[in-house]
Amino acid sequence: MESRFENEIRILQKLDHPNITVLFDMLKDTVNYYVIMELCSTGTLFDYIIEHRKMPEDDGKYVFKQIMTTLKYMQSEGIAHRDIKPENILIDDKLHIKFIDFGFSDVQIQNHLMRTRCGSSAYASPECLNGGPYNGLISDIWSAGVVLYTMLNGKLPWTKDNLVQLTRQISDAEFFIPTNLSDDVRDLINGMMNADVQKRYTVDQILDHPWLKTVQDPDFTNECHIKKSLGQEEVNSFFSLIPSVSANQIFNKSHLVDLSSIRSDTMHDGRCLLAMAKRRKLTRKRCVVPILTSHRNNLSCAQLL
């Protein structure tokens, strides 16, 4: 748990994209460590699927275009998410999405293959699930394909309940795409969920695919985007103070405070929160919310109102 906590912080520090939750700052007191992150008060894509059963193709195009442009950005930074699933994608009423939970993420070094089995079995690629060496960036494409299938059909492509049989079904890419979906999206899913990594679609092929090519990018011009403040040196300095972070220290929820009195137009970056905390002489109670734990609560947020 400690390594996942530190890994997620280090990965988020590297990323800056409108579809990725923002890490603003980190604080500590004599007992706890806190992470200040962007407030995302919406539900997950998983919640959306449960409520609506499935997503219409036109809406699905808009959502999936964001997923793939975000993946392209992460790949440009050399970051493999390695746990892409509906539970780790937030979605609002405008169908704007945010990637969360980077605890399993890692840097994909060129010509270096990963070996760690991680993520959720139902969304894991065959090469990851089988424990062999794999490219995390290519593996993410498969996972995104399973997400696309799931959000358009309201169910997973797999029919086996037994883990051994499920692993075999995934390894053989044995799934059926309902014929009520368009030919274009059926082709896209098949291209992304190809067990042969050499034949699996790339990010550029996906974004240039007929099903997505004409989809407009979301307009974030009216969205508030607060710049992040943490540099690599500050992150290193923070973790040098932590000899061993316990789960209780990371996830303690007993010191929450309401920041509703802080106006968003005064918020420029995480240092602003820290300065306010010092001015108000906050000790154990900080202007932060601790990092959350469950797959339904993958994001901790400062209340920026």
Mean pLDDT of 225-247: 49
**What pLDDT shows up at residue 10?**
78
At 86, which amino acid appears?
A: P
Verify that 62 and 154 share a domain, yes or no: yes
Q: Pick from 18-32, 105-119, 152-166 the range whose average pLDDT is largest.
A: 152-166
Verify that 197 and 48 share a domain, yes or no: yes
Mean pLDDT of 62-70: 97
**What pLDDT shows up at residue 275?**
41
Catalytic residue among 25, 29, 83, 172: 83
Query: Which domain CATH number covers 254?
Result: 3.30.200
Q: Is residue 218 part of a domain?
A: no
Hey, what are 90's tokens?
């937030």
Distances (CA, A) of 84 to 118, 124, 143, 227: 11, 8, 6, 25
In this prediction, residue 56 has a pLDDT band, given cuts at 50, 70 and 90, of very high
Q: Say if residues 126 and 192 touch (Cβ distance below 8 Å).
A: no
Domain that holds residue 127: 44-207
In this prediction, residue 234 has a pLDDT band, given cuts at 50, 70 and 90, of low
Region class of 95: left (phi > 0), else alpha (psi between -120 and 50), else beta:
left
Q: Assess whether 184 carries a catalytic annotation.
A: no
Verify that 49 and 24 share a domain, yes or no: no
**What pLDDT shows up at residue 105?**
78
Verify that 183 and 121 share a domain, yes or no: yes
Model confidence over 101-157: pLDDT tens digits?
888 877 776 667 776 777 788 999 999 988 878 888 999 999 999 999 999 999 999
196 φ/ψ angles, rounded to the nearest 5 degrees:
-85, 110
Model confidence over 261-292: pLDDT tens digits?
333 333 333 333 334 444 443 333 333 333 33
Q: Is residue 230 part of a domain?
A: no
Verify that 100 and 149 share a domain, yes or no: yes
